[in-house]
Chains A and B, each alone.
Chain A
Amino acid sequence: MHEKERAPTPEQAARHAITRYHHDPSCLVQILHDVQDALGWLPPPALTAIAETLGISRAHVEGVAGFYSFFHLEPVGQYRIFFSDNITDRMLGAPKLMAMMCRILNVEPGHRSADGAVTVGTTSCTGMCDQGPALLVNGFPVTRLTQERIREICNLIAARAPVKEWPKEFFLVENNIQRSDQLLKFRLDPGSALKAAVAKGRDGLLAEIHQSNLRGRGGAGFTTATKWEAAKKAPGPERFVVCNADEGEPGTFKDRVLLTSYADHVIEGMTLCAYAIGAQRGFIYLRYEYRYLVPHLEAVLRQRRTLGLLGKNILRQADFDFDVEIRLGAGAYVCGEETALIESLEGKRGTPRIRPPFPVTCGYMGKPTVVNNVETLAKTCLVLAESADEFAATGTPQSSGTKLLSISGDCARPGIYEYPFGIGIAQILEDCGASNVQAVQVGGASGTCLAPYEFHRRIAFENVSTAGSFMIFGINRDMFEVARNFVHFFAHESCGFCTPCRVGTSLLKNLMDKMHNNKGANYDLSEIERLTDILKTSSHCGLGLSAGNPVITTMSKFTDVYVKRLQPFEFEPEFDLDKALARARQITHRDDTEAHFQDEREILS
């Protein structure tokens, strides 16, 4: 995988990576990946060499490297193991397995082992919720973890076996397609949708997409044709198509399946868009957790070039040149937001931009750019290959077509389910074999938490809107812990740009932890409400705006899980005050009464 025989110097590694990316500072994230692959981490001299060679500031390089959680600015083990920390992995026992691994390997969670061999930590959802618990080892997913598998992994590490020699079945990622409809049943003959589009012409293609009423599958539901038309009309000679494959919403894994088995659909969709708007370059922005898909995607791209479906004069059209590059993310949920994604593509920290201007007029490098979700792009082929009217006839009048749902959690058959829009929650639960359901979290951490009295509701943009995440919680689950997991997630993933979100998500996390530790009182509950209000009204982007949602919804629908944690006293610090003096006692060699705190309640009585 990425073990190397003799490591190059930081300067050599930097030079090599920069040459590969043609001294282009916008490829900084890719350059950092290359350097880290060569060196195992990003030592300061490498950052300095990158900055000097690219002619950009050292602070910028370190700022970017420090932003993404899979870039390591401290030495890490030769084996870098990150357990997926999504609630569904936790429910399947991930914390116990991680503790077990740490015990066997004698390593502190989040740290490197004393011999420097291994680092064990956690990471946000890796998109393997249907076959968890999962971990990443040196960027490669290991699924279906059991105690036995953990023991085997520990043995392999003890024997210093290179990851590429580990048993293949460890790395098996199944599609788990449980219900196919329009899209998943559709076998695309590569180029056929494109041929149909060329026959209709650019305007004809746009009219067809319009007719289908296709809306963005990334969650927001913006009309695809409107987006494409806006980019086409925007002034300027250059345009870009970006496939948003940064599928980071906890509990979502449909894009993983599409990129695995429907990559032609996705790339053909990108090419259709390029044809419609007149773009020459496209990017697939792939989340780091799906890095194992790169060789496969590269192969599909190569094959399409051979078939004349990418490159110069596609389908022998005089002014139809288009090609696609894969750009790898580095572990940042916020980059799933289209403007943050574009910032990342430009080699910067993934800080969302202020909109307007929207990417369709001012996107990648300030040029008109269409950013579409993987599923949306795949569906454009369907519209072309079949008919727009047929597409529009499926689903509901406002939400045409089908939706892929990534179903995980407490059910008999987790996996991918494709349903026409308008499907009821109760029907979905029946189909996937979920009984005694307490709640369903639709749309991931930032989505909607539904209680049983709402199971008559339907999946559609105008009802329960979702990018595809569908996590099921049985009656034995503690919904407070579910909310706490999501709050931790947002605190970790906040980009740090605006204070309400950077500070607010951390304070919210602290308060939820205080409740968890049975130190919370009524006062803390009102503080939680105040914070969620600040987050909702003052944050810079959608991450902060929705970070309080899991708490707000669980508090209103599952009030008792909060109330039962409330302590009868007015207020108690979350930490032990007397312990907070321990270090000072130690250095001053004092142990007198003044060097200790009495219990506050004793003083007051």
Chain B
Amino acid sequence: MSTEISHHKTLSESIPRKPRIATTSLCGCFGCHMSLLDIDERILQLAEIVDFDRSPITDIKHCGPCDVGLIEGGVCNAENVHVLREFRANCKTLVALGACAINGGLPAARNTIDVGECLAEAYCTPAIAIENPGIPNDRELPLLLDKVRPVNEIVRIDYFLPGCPPSGDAIWQFVSALVTRRIPRLSYALIKYD
């Protein structure tokens, strides 16, 4: 009796659906996203086989259920944590894209300095001649974490794609494998940096 129902279910599931991709830049420089654009005309191929969800490319503000999420940048403030959690909750496969997402990168250079001192240096140093010096405390502004963290210290991460930034070719090979449900493998040349 339930055979028919499950049969229909299988049918509806088997209708090809484009994989959805979401991307975001947390505490990064958008260099990894620039590198994503470096796949050049292949982005048209990509657009044919995937749909983009939340991403700087689409300007969609919140992420829906996705197959792949690409995270650029480390985690430096409360908003980064919220975005990262949203991605983890919605993306089947989450990828740390580039050096900052993997290790914290350049922003993590502040980790040995007290966050109060950092802000005081930036907003209260007389030499910089800021009008009304003082540390901004508007409720709209996300608070800084005491340390910049790699994304895998906040949520589970499935893949790490290294590079500062990873090359367009590396991103293409990696993402095209993921969305066609192949295991991503990168040749040595694509992950060799010196």
Contacts and interface: CB of A to CB of B under 8 A. Distances in A.
B145 A581 contact: yes
Contacts of B115: 583-584, 587
Contacts of A577: 81, 145, 154
A561 interface: no
Interface in A551-596: 570-571, 573-575, 577, 580-590, 592, 594-595
A581 B78 contact: yes
Given A573-B153, A573-B154, A584 B139 contact: no
Contacts of B146: 580-584
Interface string B94-110: 00000000000000000
Contact of A580 (B85, B137, B142, B145): B145
Interface string B54-87: 0000000000000000000000001001000100
Contacts of B119: 587
A571 B155 contact: yes
A572 to B, nearest CB: 10
Contact of B139 (A587, A592, A600): A592
Interface in B116-160: 116, 119-120, 135-137, 139, 142-147, 152-156
A590 B145 contact: no
B128 to A, nearest CB: 18
A584 B143 contact: yes
B65 to A, nearest CB: 13
Interface of A: 523, 527, 570-571, 573-575, 577, 580-590, 592, 594-595, 597, 600, 603-604
B135 A603 contact: no
Interface residues of B, number: 24
Contacts of A570: 156
Interface of B: 78, 81, 85, 89, 114-116, 119-120, 135-137, 139, 142-147, 152-156
Contact of A600 (B85, B116, B144): B85
B71 to A, nearest CB: 15
Closest CB pairs A-B (n = 7): A588-B137, A584-B143, A571-B156, A580-B145, A587-B116, A584-B144, A581-B143
Contacts of A527: 152
Contacts, number: 59
Contacts of B135: 587-588
A586 B115 CA distance: 11
Contacts of B155: 571
A573 B153 CA distance: 6
A584 B85 contact: no
A574 B142 CA distance: 22
A125 B142 CA distance: 46
B139 A590 contact: yes
A583 B114 contact: yes
A383 to B, nearest CB: 49
Given A594-B139, A597-B81, A603-B85, A584 B145 contact: yes
Contacts of A574: 153
A583 B116 contact: yes
A570 B153 CA distance: 13
Nearest to B152: A527
B99 to A, nearest CB: 12
A604 B89 contact: yes
A595 B145 CA distance: 11
A603 B85 CA distance: 9
Contacts of A585: 143
Given A583-B114, A594-B143, A595-B78, 19 more contacts: A523-B156, A527-B152, A573-B153, A577-B81, A577-B145, A577-B154, A581-B78, A581-B143, A583-B116, A583-B146, A584-B115, A587-B115, A587-B119, A588-B136, A590-B143, A594-B78, A595-B143, A597-B81, A600-B85
